[in-house]
Chain A
Amino acid sequence: MINTEVDFAGIKMKNPVTVASGTFGYGREFSEFIDLNKLGAIITKGTFLKPKLGNKPARVCETAAGMLNSIGLQNPGIEYFRDNDLPWLRQFDTKIILNVGASCLEEYVEVCKIANTLDIDGVELNLSCPNVKAGCMACGTSYEGVKDVTAAVRKVLDKPLIVKLTPNVTDIAMIARGAEDAGADAISAINTLLAMKIDIEKRRPVLANNTGGLSGPAIKPVAVRMVYQIANAVKIPVMGLGGIMNGDDAIEFMLAGAKAISIGAGNFIDPTASIKTIEGIENYMQRHNINDINSIVGAVQMN
């Protein structure tokens, strides 16, 4: 018997495979394609205090081995989530992690106060969305900013707290320490890379918002490097993501130091990508006679 179970910051997941915020909705759509019971955890769409309308279209476009998005965090608000999506999600034997967004520190605290009362397994703070201009979304780019928000949320949240980092910084390790120092239970990285695509015929950016976040295999090497740096800078566990499409990609992140991983845009290409990744990980374990998945976390040997 091989063991794929991981204890991720107190969240006991049957395997390290989760689905990333904003790429899986609140689970309903993909329940048509896969058995949600098989997932380590579901991370919800970024949820705010109040519903958000999102940006004008075009909101997505394809780029080399990836895509840009500027959805603008369209979401129904936490009360809607509490009353409609959460009860539905709870029928499945998987962990539910609520991804929380906000446009100022006070809003993060307000949402997390409500989150603390919900039947969820953890909260992931999105400190990093590049698509919302105002306020606190920039607070993910400095040690102090990350520390302040994390500390404020920590005061009102007893559940496992995962802080999700933006890669749009010079020193990701230092930022991660900000979260750890303020009491975060885990880090997840990376969010999307701020990017732009120009339609050369129209001489205009393709996205209505001009810029958007790059995701998909194009960002994977950057993400692996950052996960490695974070894992070596903090003691709390790391959730690795960015361009994961299959089990091999997942293993690469785990070797770099991720204790759990997340499939993002890969879900769009293959709605069964998460399940295939679980199978791919088991397959790798068998091929390499690994009994416990935890043994490969951070097991990369540097040159």
Chain B
Amino acid sequence: MAIVEKVELVKKEQIKSDIYKYSVKSDKMANQAKPGQFLEIRVTDSIEPFLRRPISIHNVKKDEGIIEFIFQVKGKGTELLSERKEGELIDIIGPLGEGTFNTNGYEKIAIIGGGIGIFPLYELAKQVKESGKTVNMYLGFRNKDFVILENEYKEVANNFTLATDDGSYGENGFAINFLKDDISKNPVDCIYACGPLPMLKAVQALAKEKNIPCQLSLEERMGCGMGVCIGCAVKYKTETEDTFKRVCREGPVFDANIVEI
């Protein structure tokens, strides 16, 4: 069950000019957090900016009661968040989202992420690798200036491919092309993806074509993040159901076969 808590920012790292990694202390949140879940962060005590900001959980250190999240400064909300100092308290609701990455029964998985969409994939990869299963990881970035956290992600993968769209670093091309080549030789049990919409669409199509289970982590503008406003709707279609689901509640991770993006 999600909780609302003022948690201490115990460690603040700037990992790029506009990207920060925050470690916050909350035993309760760390204890329950599952891969794929997110937090709703209040960036001010005032009413402006008004809404909380959804940010994915990147890493969970259960034994220390630490949750890490990484965010890029985009607009005024993340700007304010980036001004917080170690030792300060941050008002957070979490962990949120009942649709989490599900790895039951899979022995060998592929994880593909693009740009700042890679953050929710770390905890997933870490847990799967720790449990002795195989993680093939594919990360794509626009060019070498956008590459982040290469070493961290390499550590939680058994096989690791990093690609840039222009070839300025790592492999040359879209990450999905490498995933595609690999799975035609060496199939995987499930594909997990998070990243820009065009990438998610391509992964969804690939998984369908190869008939491989696939789970996508989605983003949508949210009002509350807790399931009550039904703002973050995504089209969901099965044989019996044609409806909207809430990204914040039934998601943010969805079965790629059912969700329409």
Q: Which residues of A contact B152 (CB under 8 A)?
A: none
Determine, out of B49-57, B62-70, B156-164, B201-209, the stretch whose residues face the partner at the interface: B49-57
Which of B4, B48, B232 is A60 in contact with, Cβ under 8 Å?
B232
User: What mask results when residues 225 to 249 of chain B are scored 1 for a CB within 8 Å of chain A, else 0?
Assistant: 1111111111000000001100001
Known A62-B50, A64-B48, A65-B47; contact A54-B228, beta-carbon cutoff 8 A: no
Chain A interface, >50% SS class: loop
Which of B48, B226, B233 is A65 in contact with, Cβ under 8 Å?
B48
Q: Which residues of B contact A265 (CB under 8 A)?
A: 50, 223
Closest B residue by C-beta to A30: B228
Contact B228 A24 (CB under 8 A): yes
Give B1-21 interface residues, CB cut-off 8 Å to A: 1-4
User: Does B222 interact with chain A (Cβ within 8 Å)?
Assistant: yes
Q: Which residues of B contact A66 (CB under 8 A)?
A: 50
Closest A residue by C-beta to B249: A29
User: Does B221 interact with chain A (Cβ within 8 Å)?
Assistant: yes
Known A216-B47, A269-B50, A269-B52; contact A60-B226, beta-carbon cutoff 8 A: no
Q: Which residues of B contact A142 (CB under 8 A)?
A: none
User: Does B25 interact with chain A (Cβ within 8 Å)?
Assistant: no
* Cα–Cα distance between A265 and B221 once the two chains are bound (Å): 15
Contact A67 B50 (CB under 8 A): yes
Closest A residue by C-beta to B44: A269
* Cα–Cα distance between A54 and B244 once the two chains are bound (Å): 8
Closest A residue by C-beta to B220: A57
Q: Which residues of A contact B47 (CB under 8 A)?
A: 65, 216-217, 245, 269
* Cα–Cα distance between A289 and B218 once the two chains are bound (Å): 52
Q: Which residues of B contact A270 (CB under 8 A)?
A: 4, 42
Give A237-274 interface residues, CB cut-off 8 Å to B: 245, 265, 267-272
Q: Which residues of A contact B224 (CB under 8 A)?
A: 23, 267-268
Contact A59 B50 (CB under 8 A): no
User: Does A83 interact with chain B (Cβ within 8 Å)?
Assistant: no
* Cα–Cα distance between A205 and B93 once the two chains are bound (Å): 29
User: Does A58 interact with chain B (Cβ within 8 Å)?
Assistant: yes
* Cα–Cα distance between A71 and B222 once the two chains are bound (Å): 11
Q: Which residues of B contact A233 (CB under 8 A)?
A: none
* Cα–Cα distance between A269 and B229 once the two chains are bound (Å): 12
Closest A residue by C-beta to B77: A62
Q: Which residues of A contact B228 (CB under 8 A)?
A: 23-25, 29-30, 267-268
Give A202-260 interface residues, CB cut-off 8 Å to B: 216-217, 245
Closest A residue by C-beta to B224: A268
Interface centre among A30, A57, A69, A74 (most CB of B within 10 A): A57
How many residues does chain A have at the interface if contact means C-beta atoms less than 8 Å apart? Answer: 36
Q: Which residues of A contact B225 (CB under 8 A)?
A: 268
Q: Which residues of A contact B221 (CB under 8 A)?
A: 57-61
Closest B residue by C-beta to A268: B224
Q: Which residues of A contact B3 (CB under 8 A)?
A: 32-33
Known A54-B244, A66-B50, A269-B51; contact A74-B230, beta-carbon cutoff 8 A: yes
* Cα–Cα distance between A245 and B48 once the two chains are bound (Å): 13
Contact A268 B52 (CB under 8 A): yes
Contact B232 A71 (CB under 8 A): no
Closest A residue by C-beta to B2: A32
Q: Which residues of A contact B227 (CB under 8 A)?
A: 25, 29
Closest B residue by C-beta to A270: B4
Contact A67 B220 (CB under 8 A): no
Give B79-99 interface residues, CB cut-off 8 Å to A: 93
Q: How far is the CB of B88 from chain A (nearest CB, A)?
A: 18
Give A58-117 interface residues, CB cut-off 8 Å to B: 58-67, 69, 71, 74
Q: How far is the CB of B166 from chain A (nearest CB, A)?
A: 24
Q: Which residues of A contact B222 (CB under 8 A)?
A: 60
Contact A54 B233 (CB under 8 A): yes
User: What mask results when residues 119 to 143 of chain B are scored 1 for a CB within 8 Å of chain A, else 0?
Assistant: 0000000000000000000000000
Known A53-B244, A62-B51; contact A33-B220, beta-carbon cutoff 8 A: no
Closest A residue by C-beta to B52: A269
Closest B residue by C-beta to A60: B231
Q: Which residues of B contact A54 (CB under 8 A)?
A: 230, 233, 244
Q: Which residues of A contact B223 (CB under 8 A)?
A: 59-60, 67, 69, 265, 268
Q: How far is the CB of B97 from chain A (nearest CB, A)?
A: 12
User: What mask results when residues 40 to 54 of chain A are scored 1 for a CB within 8 Å of chain B, else 0?
Assistant: 000000000000011
Contact A53 B243 (CB under 8 A): yes
Which of A56, A58, A65 is B50 in contact with, Cβ under 8 Å?
A65
* Cα–Cα distance between A65 and B52 once the two chains are bound (Å): 12
Interchain Cβ contacts under 8 Å between A and B, 24 examples = A24-B228, A29-B228, A32-B1, A32-B3, A53-B243, A57-B232, A59-B221, A59-B231, A59-B233, A60-B223, A60-B231, A60-B232, A61-B221, A69-B223, A69-B229, A71-B230, A216-B50, A217-B50, A265-B223, A267-B228, A268-B51, A268-B223, A268-B224, A270-B4
| B binding-site residues for A, Cβ under 8 Å | 1-4, 42, 47-52, 93, 220-234, 243-244, 249
| A binding-site residues for B, Cβ under 8 Å | 22-25, 29-30, 32-33, 53-67, 69, 71, 74, 216-217, 245, 265, 267-272
